[in-house]
Amino acid sequence: MARTAVTQPATPQESFQHKLSGTLNERLALSGLAYSVPEHANSLPYILGGISLFGFVILIASGVLLAQFYHPHPSSAHNSVIYIMTQVPFGDIIRSIHYWAANLVTLLVLIHMLRVFFTASYKRPREINWLAGLGLLAVTLGFVFTGSVLKWDQEGVEALGHNQEIGEILGSLGVWFTGEFSRTVPILTRLYVGHVTLLPALFVVLMAVHFYLIKQLGISRKATADATSGPTSATSGESVTSRFTVHLQKMVGYGLLLFSFIIILSLFFPAPLGKAGIAGAEVTKPPWMFLPIYPLEDLLGITGLLIGGATLFILLAAVPFVDRSPWLSPRRRKWVIAVGMIILMALIILGGYAWLSRPAVHLIQ
């Protein structure tokens, strides 16, 4: 009896909301989203991927606005960025939102990956989803890299120089990354096309695989002392005590917090822009996410960047195939956690060293 009384709309406003939700539910089958999930799936560490996705929505919206005024040609790219910052209404803040969202989303994706690593959520049967996640990480870094070239200041021109050199080292495999590929369209314009069409398309495909697998396999079990890997669908006997709609609500809540933080950062620390770039000089540092492999360039030249980046991705890809015990708890995977922590520390130290040291001045031919 009491239950009926609670669900009955009491005021005209509640009655309207009741009708609206009924109408929407009937057409969009929204109740299908209220499926059962384990309680821990709605805790912050397990929502980081969703918050990253929310950040991508901010990136798409601000990126579409920027694209109305950005001109992807070497002769006018830098000037068009200055135009966005000085002439377009709210242009400076939109550009800063795009910049800070890119930085924070990359950080969130990395922390999300660390969560998956600590809770061993990459174990059977989620190995392929770990690899799809690695693909998403590569795409995220690809967005940052191409984006840093587009502003066409000194940092952008140097990043493009690296892009071309790596393309040349890769030979016929890397020809797309060099000016040789097309005589009619400048490489800056092609990287812009990569930034706004190729990478987003790859992102959508990988995201679809990622989400399909999460839905089919369920979220991994809580990494308690005796927990083992396995699928966690509602039928597999896992105790389910919450709903996916709660997950979505929390994701949007944290996402809006992220957006507020991005706006505050954008207001107080506008996105930087260097002077128009001069090809040949190397006087800037790359964005922070590339800093850990930056010292390798001083040691081995551009090949060092390629070797460093490839080694990291190969090591990460190997994780589910090396750590094959069924245990999820970090306490039962001490050596894997120790190796992971040593590599993480080494990357932070290398990044810190690159951050503090002045860039070595190289001259590209």
260: Cβ contacts below 8 Å, ≥ 6 apart: none
CA 338 to chain centre: 25
Angle (CA) 249 251 252, round 5°: 65
For the purposes of burial, counting CB atoms within 10 Å of the CB of 158, is it exposed (0-12), middle (13-18) or buried (19 or more)? buried
Tokens 């960047």 locate to 305
Footprint of ligand HEM on 53-82 (CB under 6 A):
53
72 or 292: CB nearest ligand HEM = 292
Footprint of ligand HEM on 189-248 (CB under 6 A):
210, 214, 219-220
Tokens 């109740």 locate to 31
Q: Is 102 in the site for ligand HEM (CB under 6 A)?
A: no
48 or 306: CB nearest ligand HEM = 48
User: What is d(CA 149, CA 329) in angstroms, rounded to the nearest whole number?
Assistant: 42
How many residues sit in the footprint of ligand HEM (CB under 6 A)? 25
213 or 364: CB nearest ligand HEM = 213
Inter-residue contact 126 to 320 (CB < 8 Å) = yes
Inter-residue contact 101 to 62 (CB < 8 Å) = yes
Q: Is 38 in the site for ligand HEM (CB under 6 A)?
A: no
Q: Is 307 in the site for ligand HEM (CB under 6 A)?
A: no
93 or 317: CB nearest ligand HEM = 317
Contact residue for ligand HEM among 37, 42, 47, 255 (CB under 6 A) = 47
User: What is d(CA 306, CA 310) in angstroms, rounded to the nearest whole number?
Assistant: 6
Q: Is 146 in the site for ligand HEM (CB under 6 A)?
A: no
Q: How far is the CB of 345 from ligand HEM (least distance, A)?
A: 19
Contact residue for ligand HEM among 94, 102, 137, 262 (CB under 6 A) = 137
User: What is d(CA 35, CA 298) in angstroms, rounded to the nearest whole number?
Assistant: 53
Give the residues lining the site for ligand HEM (CB under 6 A): 46-50, 52-53, 109, 112-113, 116, 121-122, 126, 129-130, 133-134, 136-137, 140, 210, 214, 219-220
